[in-house]
Amino acid sequence: MPQEITKLAEGVEALFLPVNSFNTTLVSFNFYMPLEKETVAKYALLPELIATCSKSYPDYLALNYRLTALYGADVVATATKVGNCMCLKFTVSAINDRFAFGGEKVMEESVALLLDLIFRPKAENGAFFEDDLKREKRKLIDRIKGELNEKRTFARNRLVSEMLDDDPYGLYKFGKAEDVAAISGEELFEAWKTMLISGYLRIHVIGEALPAGLYDSIKAELNAFERGNVTDIYSITALKERQSVKRVTDLMEVAQGKLVMGFSCPAGDDDTSLDVMLMNDIFGGGPYGRLFTNVREKMSLCYYCSAQAVRNKGFMMVDSGVEKENAKKAEEAILGQLEVMKNGEFTDFEFASAVKSIKDSLRSYKDSQNGLDVWYTIKAINRVVYSPEEICEKIDSVTRQDVINAAKRVKLNTVYALLPKERTEE
């Protein structure tokens, strides 16, 4: 799949992926901002508010009416962590113009709507309106509380926050509920201006054609702001190794315990760390992985057990659901499987299965515009950006010895356990 990257201004570039296999075109604006404790809650809230109204469409009813008129165009906004940044994503997806009954320029008008939401938000006197702010704050706080109630997600987030306690990536992507509640309309408006002034902006266009005048429209909108001090998306700090393993345990009223183990591993991009990708997959990436086949199936020590590597940050996470009495045994078994990897005792079948699984997963990206959008959103922080097909080819060059060498550099860093409280007789 050919990639065409166009530099529009300093810190602003557009990536066009011409694909004819979809009936729609997706356009996303991705603003990369520094991941910081003082701003993480604001940048989590900002996309939620921006995507619901603007000066032209002051409420959701007016916005939804306009989207319906555009043949059911869809607008979505999210915020997530990428490297040392928060990525604020604003996306519109609409049918290609050739499907419009009346010859309307659907994509051009859909992009104009998205630009209106981003650059002309519903605000007055340098502040967002209180009613709109209260509504979106309530929704975000509910989402934060919802993730607290989803214990697997909660445990994974706790592990990351404890393991990277001195690193921006350790921050929870939505911030704290109390920080969200304290955000004023003026503060969020300033965050919006900062995003437009200093955010590193990557625009993705995935579809059969570029919407007419898109790049000129973007330049014209940005010219209204004196851009400067653009976020350095390539500055990424890796997990620091510890002299001794950090251990944290929470006791709660839960039916099933959670054991999450964090490891330091070689950090890098797609030119330097594909051995880590393959090692992680053999270790615990799927039903053929050693954690599933041994710790879960053969030893019956946990309900689930899988591994995930965040290569640009240099860490690997193993999360499992365990009974309290099996937590220690499960930890020892997981470390035992890591020793198998370090000793090169995995089979050729496991190696081949992991290579095939990774390739199948990479090839599946072309089947979804959202998948391709997410891929290039994450990969933007690499100085050289490869397509999924290019990574498919590169993975073939990784050898068994490369995997063994990568495993030998994996070290246990932090262990987080969420275990049931002891029940007391009343």
Q: DSSP string covering 257-280, please?
A: EEEEEEEE-----TTT-HHHHHHH
User: CA 38, CA 324: separation in Å to the nearest integer?
Assistant: 37
User: CA 267, CA 254: separation in Å to the nearest integer?
Assistant: 35
What parts of the chain have a pLDDT lower than 70? 1-2, 423-426
Alpha helices in 167-302 (DSSP H): 177-182, 185-198, 214-222, 274-284, 290
Contact at 8 Å (CB) between 400 and 344? yes
Contact at 8 Å (CB) between 305 and 364? no
Instruction: Note the pTM of the prediction, 2 decimals.
Output: 0.95
- CA triple 332-336-337, angle to 5 deg: 125
For the chain, domains (ranges, CATH) are 4-222 (3.30.830.10), 246-420 (3.30.830.10)
User: CA 113, CA 54: separation in Å to the nearest integer?
Assistant: 9
User: CA 394, CA 379: separation in Å to the nearest integer?
Assistant: 15
The candidate with the shortest Cα–Cα distance to 401, out of 333, 326, 341, is 341
Unique residue bearing structure tokens 């002299």: 243
Residue 152 identity: R
User: CA 96, CA 292: separation in Å to the nearest integer?
Assistant: 44
Contact at 8 Å (CB) between 291 and 305? yes
- CA triple 232-236-242, angle to 5 deg: 155
Contact at 8 Å (CB) between 89 and 377? yes
Query: Dihedral sign, CA of 376, 381, 386, 391?
Result: negative
Residues whose CB falls within 8 Å of the CB of residue 406, separated by 6 or more in sequence, listed in order:
265, 266, 273, 275, 276, 278, 279
The candidate with the shortest Cα–Cα distance to 85, out of 185, 168, 2, 27, is 168
Contact at 8 Å (CB) between 401 and 343? no
Kind and range of the H or E run holding 413: strand 411-420
User: CA 116, CA 50: separation in Å to the nearest integer?
Assistant: 10
The candidate with the shortest Cα–Cα distance to 70, out of 41, 43, 92, 46, is 92
pLDDT of residue 1: 57
Contact at 8 Å (CB) between 314 and 267? yes
pLDDT one-digit tens code per residue, 229-287: 999 999 999 999 899 999 999 999 998 999 999 999 999 999 999 999 999 999 998 88
Concatenated DSSP letters of 79-131: EEEETTEEEEEEEEEEE-GGG-TT---HHHHHHHHHHHHHHS-SEETTEE-HH
Retrieve residue 128's tokens: 């967002």
pLDDT of residue 149: 87
Retrieve residue 413's tokens: 């860093």
User: CA 115, CA 97: separation in Å to the nearest integer?
Assistant: 19
Contact at 8 Å (CB) between 176 and 351? no
State residue 20 phi and psi, 5-degree precision: -105, 5
User: CA 171, CA 318: separation in Å to the nearest integer?
Assistant: 19
pLDDT one-digit tens code per residue, 361-418: 999 999 999 999 999 999 999 999 999 999 999 999 999 999 999 999 999 999 999 9
End-to-end CA, the chain: 66
User: CA 144, CA 213: separation in Å to the nearest integer?
Assistant: 39
pLDDT of residue 2: 59
Question: What's the burial of 366, exposed, middle or buried (CB within 10 Å: 0-12/13-18/19+)?
Answer: middle
pLDDT of residue 426: 47
